[in-house]
Structure 1
Amino acid sequence: MKRVVGPSLFVIALCAASAAWAQALPRADPAKVGVSAERLERIGQAFQKEIDAGKLPGAVMMVARDGQLVYAKTLGHQDKDAGKAMEEGSIFRIYSMTKPLVSVAAMILYEEGRIELTDPVSKFLPEFDNLQVSKATLDPFGKVTYATEPVARKPTVQDLLRHTAGLAYGEITQNAVVKEGYAKAGLYKPADRDYDSRSMSPEEQVKAIAQVPLVHQPGTRWEYSLASDILGRVVEKAAGMRLSEFLEQRVFQPLKMNDSGFSVAQADLPRLAEPLKTDPATGTPNKLIDVSAVPANDSGGAGAVSTAADYLRFTQMLLNGGELDGARILSPTTIRLMASDHLGERIQPVLSPGELLLGTPGYSFGLGFSVRGQDGIAGVSGSAGEYMWAGYAGTFFWVDPEEDLTAVLMTQAPGPSRPYYRKLFKQLVYQSVVETHAN
């Protein structure tokens, strides 16, 4: 995606790229790693029905076990209005699947001693030194009133990684004062598009967020938020370079994630997947971020693009304990720290990570993604110790160390049906496993 080619080389470059797309990981006969090829076909059959019914534009799905690709399927359209078929190398807006990328970037700096998890955010961003909290109170007549109070303690880097910094999303929070403050600051654009504040410079974004009261006292509640955007600003201060440059040098290049970044070059725009014009469930127009130009800030929470093959290489690195094909990104001990429960009993979620992502309880949160505490509780297949996250436009991944399994779903389908497709993909992948690694 980052290459620049002249017209005479364009076809050659695309052919070379097509070969690269097919090499996400070494391919294996599913039976050799305990997976049924016949059962894997159920995945494509189920999703093809949804595409034929006009509920999805198209999808790319990949599944790997024991470090080998056992399933790669492209279905439907990359751009239905243009009549363009989906390709394995189609590029997707991954929205919140950017969050694990910036979390890994932060943990690289953690391993180098340039960040500590207990560092206050204000160490890197002085604007976060004197924050206020918006406290909601219910009066005797049932009316909610709001007052501000000073923070009991400053939010930390760990709070940013686990969404306990007291920040929020204007699109989600029920605190009217915070929602209005984010809207006035340009962090929330209900009339335009969701999760897009990339027109601000990094400095403008930090100042705008810091001027709005927090929605909770830091370290007391889990609420999904703009924390990963602020984490990206911390990475930039600690690394001394733009977030996109740091990720390119320390993650994308070593892992050969050649089509991942924060914008799509003009030559690669024909590979960009598009949603249906309107959401089939609601009739609401689908408005996704414009990734055709370099943004003013690299949104660590929602701004990246990638392919299924690229992201599978990233998740396989996590599953391998921080290494892939000789490129060591993180230590296994750091991956274990990230994939551990960082909420415990002390920090209660407003809405649990599993309920937000999949519509089911059973998941807590680590440093950058949700984590599963036990095999049961959640109303979907999986294993204790697995971790995952997803994106607003329909993308989804998970990593299951116990079964040595990782999978990626890429589509561009924002809307209320996202949890259904995440669960559908997940249960159909697990039913294809006929030889378990579990003890």
Structure 2
Amino acid sequence: MPSLQHLADAAVARGVPGVLALVAHGDRVETAAAGVRSLGGSPMTADTIVRTASVTKPIVGALAMAVLERGDLALDDVASRWLPELADLRVLRHPSAALDDVVPLQTPIAVRHLLTSTSGIGLVGDFAAPLMAAHAERLGQGADARARPAADELLRRVGMLPLAHQPGAGWTYNTGMDVLGILLERVTGTPLDDLLRAMVLEPLGMVDTGFALRASQASRTATAHRRGTDGAAPDEVDTPAMLLDDPPVLASAAGGLLSTAADLLRFWRMLAGGGALDGVRVLSEASVRTMRSPLVTAEPGNPFLDDQAWGVGGAVDVAPAEPFHAVGRYGWIGSWGTATYLLPGGTIGIWLSQLEFASPEDMGLVGDFLVEVARRDRA
């Protein structure tokens, strides 16, 4: 069976600038690093800081559960109480319909809809749908979270677009998580980064995680890369220097966190421990069970969910359609080449690179790692 080092080296040989792979089970942790943080730059190391992209989602999902536990919100609360921009929406007749082919809203968006990505705000399974282009062009819902407008402007623009489906009647991806983050800010009166730090990051000792890059972190931060005709090339607008000089205006709950393998391991160990780590409880066991439960599904063939289910902030495997699936596995992947999963046997897998997923081959690289994680969990 391949070692982690073999998998990391193989990814670099196939064009990924740098990789850090980690597998943990209980107190046992194995890591492997290969390649560089940036082409021609420093080696990839265990303390490298990366853009987590959508690996942000489970972490913000945990924050939302903590806010619910505190009593600031209830699942059936109507979101427009705090987000009036969502009070008077229209709904597409079909997710692939023209943006003006709409029907009235039948049910208001509730907190539970934002928590489970069933609000109708988000990306749909038909990549050619007019709504997909609108979310990319008007809401900045691409790989670069720095393209998203500030919170109030994002909500204003969301309110001008139709929903993909009636709240609770489907599943949509990404944008709704950004809206959930803004909801948490408005409900608590606290900026999302401060709220996350107080309720999740500091209790877990996640010292390198946040929505903004600190100057002291820049030297060990990997550069984002994209594939071109001649191989991987740095994204000139998303280098560590640019993150410092021109930081994101939105703390994106859908994909804006920076972190390290060590910090991410502490978060996933908390989930594996039923909501507590090193004697510090962040979530109740019931909240962790909810996060890891298959709460909703998308339409068959949805390219985001791949016929699996969605919990809170991440996918839950309900069928072993691929070798890396394991019924009950919970976690998610990020567009900048990141993946974090907790498997039913307690194994945690973390894969960190900074090459945008742009092809099935790129996805296959992390897939090889996830197959090995699943094999170890079964062993």
Q: What corresponds to 2:248 in structure 1?
A: 295
Q: Percent identity?
A: 26
* Matching of residue 317 in structure 1 with residue 317 in structure 2: no
* Matching of residue 422 in structure 1 with residue 373 in structure 2: no
Q: What corresponds to 1:349 in structure 2?
A: 299
Structure 1 SS opposite 2:36: strand
Q: What corresponds to 2:113 in structure 1?
A: 159
Q: What corresponds to 2:18 in structure 1?
A: 58
Q: What is the alpha-carbon distance in structure 2 between the residues aligned to residue 184 and residue 90 of structure 1?
A: 31
Q: Is the contact between residue 396 and residue 408 of structure 1 (CA under 8 Å) also seen in structure 2?
A: yes
Q: What is the alpha-carbon distance in structure 1 between the residues aligned to residue 287 and residue 95 of structure 2?
A: 40
Q: What is the alpha-carbon distance in structure 2 between the residues aligned to residue 428 and residue 298 of structure 1?
A: 33
Give the residue type in structure 1 aligned to 2:295: H
* Matching of residue 79 in structure 1 with residue 38 in structure 2: yes
Q: What corresponds to 1:413 in structure 2?
A: 355
1:89 aligned to which of 39, 47, 50:
47
Q: What is the alpha-carbon distance in structure 2 between the residues aligned to residue 326 and residue 166 of structure 1?
A: 39
Q: What is the alpha-carbon distance in structure 1 between the residues aligned to residue 314 and residue 48 of structure 2?
A: 24
Q: What corresponds to 1:188 in structure 2?
A: 140
Q: Is the contact between residue 16 and residue 355 of structure 2 (CA under 8 Å) also seen in structure 1?
A: yes
Q: How big is the alpha-carbon RMSD for the aligned residues of Structure 1 and Structure 2?
A: 2.7
Where structure 2 has 5 or more consecutive residues not aligned to the other structure, the ranges are none
Q: What corresponds to 1:232 in structure 2?
A: 181
Q: What is the alpha-carbon distance in structure 2 between the residues aligned to residue 179 and residue 137 of structure 1?
A: 9
Q: What corresponds to 1:268 in structure 2?
A: 217
Where structure 1 has 5 or more consecutive residues not aligned to the other structure, the ranges are 1-38
- What is the TM-score when the length of structure 1 is the normalising length? 0.78
Residues 180, 87 of structure 1: alpha-carbon distance in 2 compared, 3 angstrom cutoff: closer
Q: Report the number of matched residues.
A: 373
Residues 89, 184 of structure 1: alpha-carbon distance in 2 compared, 3 angstrom cutoff: closer
Deviations 1:24-51 (A, max 9, x none): xxxxxxxxxxxxxxx5x62221331231
Superposition map of 1:357-396 within 5 A? 360-361=306-307, 363-374=308-319, 376=320, 378-396=321-339
Q: CA deviation at 1:220?
A: 1.2
Structure 2 SS opposite 1:245: helix
Q: What is the alpha-carbon distance in structure 1 between the residues aligned to residue 300 and residue 174 of structure 2?
A: 12
Q: What is the alpha-carbon distance in structure 1 between the residues aligned to residue 232 and residue 31 of structure 2?
A: 31
Larger radius of gyration: 1
Q: Is the contact between residue 169 and residue 188 of structure 1 (CA under 8 Å) also seen in structure 2?
A: no
Q: What is the alpha-carbon distance in structure 1 between the residues aligned to residue 314 and residue 262 of structure 2?
A: 20
Q: What corresponds to 1:31 in structure 2?
A: none
- What is the TM-score when the length of structure 2 is the normalising length? 0.89
Q: What is the alpha-carbon distance in structure 1 between the residues aligned to residue 202 and residue 108 of structure 2?
A: 35
Give the residue type in structure 1 aligned to 2:35: G
Q: CA deviation at 1:277?
A: 5.5
Q: Is the contact between residue 78 and residue 90 of structure 1 (CA under 8 Å) also seen in structure 2?
A: yes
Give the residue type in structure 2 aligned to 1:153: T
Q: What corresponds to 2:65 in structure 1?
A: 107
Residues 309, 183 of structure 1: alpha-carbon distance in 2 compared, 3 angstrom cutoff: closer
Structure 1 SS opposite 2:335: coil
Q: Is the contact between residue 135 and residue 146 of structure 1 (CA under 8 Å) also seen in structure 2?
A: no
Q: CA deviation at 1:257?
A: 0.6
Deviations 1:219-276 (A, max 9, x none): 1111213011000011111221000001111111111111000121122111111244
Q: Is the contact between residue 272 and residue 346 of structure 2 (CA under 8 Å) also seen in structure 1?
A: yes
Give the residue type in structure 2 aligned to 1:58: G
Residues 285, 71 of structure 1: alpha-carbon distance in 2 compared, 3 angstrom cutoff: closer
Deviations 1:284-337 (A, max 9, x none): 875674532543221101111000111111111111111111111100111101
Give the residue type in structure 1 aligned to 2:167: P
Q: Is the contact between residue 106 and residue 115 of structure 1 (CA under 8 Å) also seen in structure 2?
A: no
Structure 2 SS opposite 1:103: helix
Q: What is the alpha-carbon distance in structure 2 between the residues aligned to residue 241 and residue 61 of structure 1?
A: 34
Runs (4 or more) in structure 1 with deviation over 4 Å come to: 143-146, 170-173, 279-290
